[in-house]
A and B are shown apart, each in its own frame.
Chain A
Amino acid sequence: MTTAPALEAPALLEMSDIDKSFPGVHALRQVGLQIRPGEVLALLGENGAGKTTLIKVLGGAYRPDAGTIRIDGRSVAITRPTDAQRAGVAIIYQEFNLVPHLSARENIFLGREDSRGGFVRRRDERRRARDLFARIGVAIDPETPCARLTVAQQQVVEIAKALAADARIIVMDEPSAALTIQEVERLFEIIGDLKRHGMGVIYISHRLEEVFRVADRVMVMRDGSHVATRPVGELTRQDMIEMMVGRKIENEFPKQRAQLGAERLRVQGLKRGDRVRDVSFSVRSGEVVTLTGLVGAGRTETARLIFGADRMESGTVSLDGRRLRLRSPRDAMASGIGLLTEDRRNQGLVLAHSARENFGLPNLGGLSALGFVRGRAERDAFAGFIRSLKIKIPHQDELAGNLSGGNQQKVVLAKWLQQDCKVIIFDEPTRGIDVGAKYEIYLLMNDLAAAGKAILMVSSELPEVLGMSDRILVMHDGRITGEITDPAGATQEQILELAMG
C-alpha cells in the first residue's frame, strides 16, 4: 500500500505480500490486508478475484508461496486449520460446518469438549453455551439439534463456536445469502456487538448495500491483486463496481422494454401445502414478471409447481391458452417451459460431469438418432453457445464444478436456450454471481424478452427486482399480496411493505 492510513491502534491482523500460485493460475499476487481491533473490513471482488484464496490462506487451508501473517504484531506460521484456530482466527463459510444431528451445544464445543476423565461435563458446557447465546443476544436452546434450527440460528451457532474458541478475527463469507431481511438486521446487530468487544471482522458479500451498512473500510480485489482499500465513506456504489470489474459501467441494470405480445403463461389457483396457498397470475410474451417476497413466502415453490418439479394439489397452468398436464419436469419441458434453479450446484448441474454433458442432458432428444448421441451435433451446438453467451471455459469437457458461478449459470442457461423454451423461469438468476457476469445475464434476459419469450423471475435482490422487471408480484405466506405495474416509479420500501403482509 502506498498511502498507509494512520493507525491509532496496532493492527490486529496484518497479512502482507501474500503470493499463491496453482498450476496455471497465479491466484494471489503480493496481496496485503490489515484489520484493526473493533473494525469491519468488507472484502469485495468478482468471483475468481482471489478473495476465497486469501481467506483460505488465513484459515490454514492453503499454504502461501510467499508472504507473512502477523497477529498483534507477532509473526505467526499458519500451515494447518488448527494453527489458525490457535491464533484466534475463525472462518464461517457459506456452507456451515455443523453436524446436523448434534445439538447446538455439542457443535459449539466439538473438538474442544469440556471433559474430565473422558466424560463430557455437560452442565458446564450448557451454561457456557447459554452465556454465549446471551452475549450474542439470541434465545436458542443449546440442546436443539442443529438440523432443527433455522439458517439464521445455525449461523449464530457458528458465531458462538468462534467465540467459544476465543477467536478475535472472524471471517464471514456471504453471511446474508440465505437470511431473511429481518435476520440480516439481527446479524448486523451481532456484528456491531463483536466490534464493541474489540474483535476484527472480515465481511465478504456481493450485496453492496450491506457493505455500506456494516463496513468501516472496503478492500477491493481483482484478478488476484489488491486494487484499493478505502474507508467506506469515501466510496460510492458506482466506485466499488468499477473497481471490481476494472472498467466503467454506466448502468447496473440495462433494462430494455420489449414489445409485449399475447398472454403466454397463465397460472390459476395454484396450491401445494401451506407454502403455496392460492397463486394466480399471467405473463405475456416479451414480458419480465418478477415474483418477490421474503424467504419462505413460497416463490421458489410456485416456480417448481409451474415446472412440474413438485405435484400441485390443485390449480392449472396454461401455455398459449392450452392447459398443461404437468406430472414431471419432462412434461413441462415438452410443453416449452424451462427452469434455472436457485441452487445451481445441487439442482442445476452435475458438477462432476463435463459442461458439455450438462448442456446436452435435457437436449439429447434433439441431439440423438435412434438412441445414439450425435456427438458432433452436440459439440457444435454447445460451441455456438460458448461463443454467443461468452462462456469462459478452457474446453468443452471441463468439469462443470470447476467453473465460476457466472459461467455455471451460463451453462444452465444454454441448456434451456437450446430447448427453445417459450417460458423461462429464472430463480435467483444472479445469486453468487459477480458483477460482470450479472450484467451479461441481464442483457440475455433482454434478448429473450425481445424474442417473444415470457420470463418469470424469482428474486430477493430488490435493486434487481426494481431494475429488471416489467411487472412485480409480491408474495407473502403462499399468496400474492401485491402487484406493482410500474417498477420504475416504485421503491424498495413499497415492496417490503407488501412483503410483510
Chain B
Amino acid sequence: MPNARPAIRRFLANYGMVLILVLLAAYYSWATWKEQYPGGEEAAAGVSEAVGDELGPGTRVLVVAQEGARAREFAAAAAAALRDRGMNVVGVVLGDPHDLRTELERRAASPDKPAAVVATREAAEWRLMQVLPERFPSLAKVRVFSPRSYWWPDFLKRSNLLAIADRIVVIAVIAIGMTMVIITGGIDLSVGSLIALSAVVSTLLVREFAGASDATAFGMVLCCLAAVLACGLMGAFSGVMVTAFSIPPFIGTLAMMLIASGLAFILAGGQSIYQVPASIDWLGRGTSLGGIPNTVTLMVVLYAGAHVLMTRTVLGRYIYAVGGNVEAARLSGVPVRWVILFVYAVCGLLAGVGGVVQASQLQSGAPTYGLMYELYVIAAVVVGGTSLGGGQGRILGTLIGAFIIAVIQNGMNLTGVESYTQKVVLGAVILGAVLLDMLKKRRST
C-alpha cells in the first residue's frame, strides 16, 4: 500500500471540498427528511392515474375538496385530469363536511351514484368519509382516493435546490473574477459596491432612455450591457492604480468601493428605481432550455469559460505565474501589467453582471444592493481553496466554495437556525477552510 496514501492525499487536496459539500448535502437531507404531501397538479395527476388503473375508464367520480385556494386548485386539476383519462366526473364538492353530506344524501337516492370519490388528503380524513358505508349503505362500495404522501427531504426538493442556485448566483459569478484577482496576489474590495452601481445604472438607463416600463427587450439588453461595461471600466481603473502607481490592491480597491457606492447613491438620488418592465426578470427568474433557470445557465457558461481560460490558455498560465513570483514572471517575458489590468477588469465586468442579475431578480435597482457581498465573495474563493498569497487556486474550487456557503445558509434556514447563529457558523466555516489550507501547505513542505 505504499502508493495508496499519497493518492488519497492528492485526491483530498484537490477534491476535499467536493467531499465536504457532499457531506453537507447528505447531512441536510437527513435532517430535513420528512413526509411530503403533494398538492395541486402534481397530486391530481397521481391520484387520477390511480383511479384509472384500478377502476378503468368510464368510472363515475365525485371530487371532494375543502375550502381554500390550494384545495380548489387541486379539485380543478383533478377533475380535468380525470376527464382526460376518460372518466365521468359526476360532481365537484367544494366546502365543509356538511356540504358533502348534503351532496351524498342527494346522490345516494339518485341513480347516478359515484363509484369513486377523489378527495384531498384533508377531506379524506373527515369523519364522514371514514363512516361512509355505515351512513350510506347504498354507497358502501364507493372507493375513496386521495393523494399519496411520500418521504423526501425538504432540502432536495426541486424548489429548494432552485432557491439555493438563486441565492448564490450573484456571489458565484463575481467569485470567478475574484479568484483570478486573488491568484495574481491581489484583492478587490469594490465588487459589492459595483453590484449596486450596475443595478442602478442599468435600471436608470432603462427608465431614462429605453422607455421605462414599456422598454423593449433589446433596449433592456443594451442598458444592461452598458452597466456591465461601466463596471468593467471601474475595475480596469483599479487595475491601473495597482500596476502603474503600485498602490496596494487592498487600499486601491477600498477607495473604489467607496467611489462606486457613492456614485450609485448619487445616480439613483438615494432611492430605488422601479420604473422597469416586469419582463426584466427574464435573466434572474426566467427559465429556458426545458426548465433550467437562466441564472444557472449563466453560471455554468461563465464557470466553464473561466475554467478553460485558467487551465488551458497562455493567459491563464500568466495569471498564475504573476501571482507565484512576479519578478520571475517579468524576467520570463510575461506582460505583467497587462495581466493584472486584465484580471481587475474581468472582476469589475463580472461584478457588473452580478448587479444586472440582482436588478433582474428584484425587478428594480437600488444603491443598497450588494452590501457586504465582497466579503461573501472572498469567503467563497477562500473556502474554495484559493490561497490569499497568490499563485494557487482553482476556478471550480471557487464554485464549490460558493455552494458550500449557500448550502450551509440554506440548510440552517430549513432546520430553523436563527440568523445570528448562522453568522457565527459561517465565520467558523471560513476559519476552518483557511486552517485546512494551512495544514495542507505545512504537510507539503
| Cβ proximity bits A212-245 to B, threshold 8 Å, 1 near / 0 not | 0000000000000000000000000000000000
A-binding segment of B186-194, B307-315, B376-384, B410-418: B307-315
Residue A391 at the B interface, CB < 8 A? Answer: no
Q: Once the chains bind, are B325 and A329 in contact (CB under 8 Å)?
A: no
| Cβ proximity bits A350-369 to B, threshold 8 Å, 1 near / 0 not | 11110001101110110010
Contact of A329 among B321, B324, B331, B391 (CB under 8 A): B331
Contact of A353 among B313, B331, B391 (CB under 8 A): B391
Point out the residues of chain B lying under 8 angstroms from A329, CB to CB: 330-333
Point out the residues of chain A lying under 8 angstroms from B318, CB to CB: 364
Contact of A350 among B315, B316, B324, B335 (CB under 8 A): B324
Point out the residues of chain A lying under 8 angstroms from B316, CB to CB: 373
B192 → chain A, closest Cβ, in Å? 30
A94 → chain B, closest Cβ, in Å? 17
Chain A 317-373 interface residues, beta-carbon cutoff 8 Å to B? 328-330, 333-334, 339, 341, 346-353, 357-358, 360-362, 364-365, 368, 371-373
Closest to A360 in B: B317
Contact of A346 among B314, B315, B327 (CB under 8 A): B327
Residue B342 at the A interface, CB < 8 A? Answer: no
A283 → chain B, closest Cβ, in Å? 20
CA of A169 to CA of B350, assembled, Å: 59
Point out the residues of chain A lying under 8 angstroms from B324, CB to CB: 350-353
Point out the residues of chain A lying under 8 angstroms from B325, CB to CB: 346-347, 349-352
Q: Once the chains bind, are A350 and B321 in contact (CB under 8 Å)?
A: yes
Q: Once the chains bind, are A346 and B391 in contact (CB under 8 Å)?
A: no
Residue B392 at the A interface, CB < 8 A? Answer: yes
Point out the residues of chain B lying under 8 angstroms from A334, CB to CB: 333
Residue B328 at the A interface, CB < 8 A? Answer: yes
Closest to B323 in A: A350
Q: Once the chains bind, are B317 and A330 in contact (CB under 8 Å)?
A: no
Q: Once the chains bind, are B392 and A372 in contact (CB under 8 Å)?
A: no
CA of A309 to CA of B334, assembled, Å: 12
Residue B18 at the A interface, CB < 8 A? Answer: no
Point out the residues of chain A lying under 8 angstroms from B226, CB to CB: none
User: Interface size on B (CB < 8 Å)?
Assistant: 22
CA of A371 to CA of B310, assembled, Å: 11
Q: Once the chains bind, are A361 and B315 in contact (CB under 8 Å)?
A: no
Point out the residues of chain A lying under 8 angstroms from B229, CB to CB: none
Number of chain A interface residues as a range: 20 to 34
Q: Once the chains bind, are B314 and A347 in contact (CB under 8 Å)?
A: no
Residue A161 at the B interface, CB < 8 A? Answer: no
Residue among B317, B330, B333, B335 with the most chain A CB within 10 A?
A: B333
Residue B320 at the A interface, CB < 8 A? Answer: yes
Given A350-B391, A352-B392, A353-B391, A368 contacting B332 (CB threshold 8 A): no
Point out the residues of chain A lying under 8 angstroms from B334, CB to CB: 330, 361-362
Residue B329 at the A interface, CB < 8 A? Answer: yes
Q: Once the chains bind, are B391 and A361 in contact (CB under 8 Å)?
A: no
CA of A500 to CA of B300, assembled, Å: 66
Closest to B390 in A: A352
Residue among A333, A353, A358 with the most chain B CB within 10 A?
A: A353
Point out the residues of chain A lying under 8 angstroms from B317, CB to CB: 357, 360-361, 364, 373
Given A350-B321, A353-B391, A361 contacting B332 (CB threshold 8 A): yes
Closest to A368 in B: B314
Q: Once the chains bind, are A362 and B333 in contact (CB under 8 Å)?
A: yes
Residue A382 at the B interface, CB < 8 A? Answer: no
Q: Once the chains bind, are B327 and A373 in contact (CB under 8 Å)?
A: no
A269 → chain B, closest Cβ, in Å? 24
Point out the residues of chain B lying under 8 angstroms from A347, CB to CB: 325, 327-328, 331
CA of A349 to CA of B315, assembled, Å: 18
Closest to B391 in A: A352
Point out the residues of chain B lying under 8 angstroms from A307, CB to CB: 331
Given A349-B325, A361-B321, A309 contacting B314 (CB threshold 8 A): no
CA of A360 to CA of B333, assembled, Å: 11
A397 → chain B, closest Cβ, in Å? 11
Point out the residues of chain B lying under 8 angstroms from A341, CB to CB: 331
CA of A351 to CA of B324, assembled, Å: 8
Q: Once the chains bind, are A309 and B392 in contact (CB under 8 Å)?
A: no
CA of A357 to CA of B322, assembled, Å: 12
Q: Once the chains bind, are B331 and A339 in contact (CB under 8 Å)?
A: yes
CA of A155 to CA of B394, assembled, Å: 41
CA of A330 to CA of B330, assembled, Å: 8
Q: Once the chains bind, are A309 and B312 in contact (CB under 8 Å)?
A: no
Residue A415 at the B interface, CB < 8 A? Answer: yes
Q: Once the chains bind, are A372 and B312 in contact (CB under 8 Å)?
A: yes
Q: Once the chains bind, are A371 and B313 in contact (CB under 8 Å)?
A: yes
Given A364-B314, A368-B314, A353 contacting B333 (CB threshold 8 A): no
Q: Once the chains bind, are B328 and A371 in contact (CB under 8 Å)?
A: no
Contact of B321 among A348, A353, A365 (CB under 8 A): A353
CA of A104 to CA of B382, assembled, Å: 38
A373 → chain B, closest Cβ, in Å? 6
CA of A339 to CA of B324, assembled, Å: 19
A444 → chain B, closest Cβ, in Å? 19
Given A330-B335, A339-B331, A348-B328, A373 contacting B314 (CB threshold 8 A): yes
Contact of B328 among A328, A330, A346 (CB under 8 A): A346
CA of A372 to CA of B312, assembled, Å: 6
Point out the residues of chain A lying under 8 angstroms from B331, CB to CB: 307, 309, 329, 339, 341, 347-348
Q: Once the chains bind, are B315 and A371 in contact (CB under 8 Å)?
A: yes
| Cβ proximity bits B103-118 to A, threshold 8 Å, 1 near / 0 not | 0000000000000000
Point out the residues of chain A lying under 8 angstroms from B335, CB to CB: 328, 330
Q: Once the chains bind, are B313 and A362 in contact (CB under 8 Å)?
A: no
CA of A305 to CA of B179, assembled, Å: 35
B14 → chain A, closest Cβ, in Å? 13
Contact of B329 among A333, A350, A368 (CB under 8 A): A350
Residue among A330, A334, A341 with the most chain B CB within 10 A?
A: A330
Point out the residues of chain A lying under 8 angstroms from B333, CB to CB: 328-330, 333-334, 361-362
CA of A364 to CA of B328, assembled, Å: 15
A selection of 8 A-B contacts at a CB cut-off of 8 Å is A309-B330, A328-B335, A347-B327, A350-B328, A361-B328, A361-B332, A362-B332, A373-B312
Residues of B participating in the A interface, judged by any CB pair closer than 8 Å: 312-318, 320-321, 324-325, 327-335, 391-392
Please give 7 more A-B residue pairs, beta carbons under 8 A apart, in addition to A358-B328, A360-B317.
A309-B330, A351-B324, A361-B317, A361-B329, A362-B334, A372-B312, A373-B317
Rank and list the top 7 A-B pairs by shortest CB-CB distance, nearest first: A350-B324, A362-B332, A361-B332, A350-B325, A364-B314, A330-B333, A333-B333
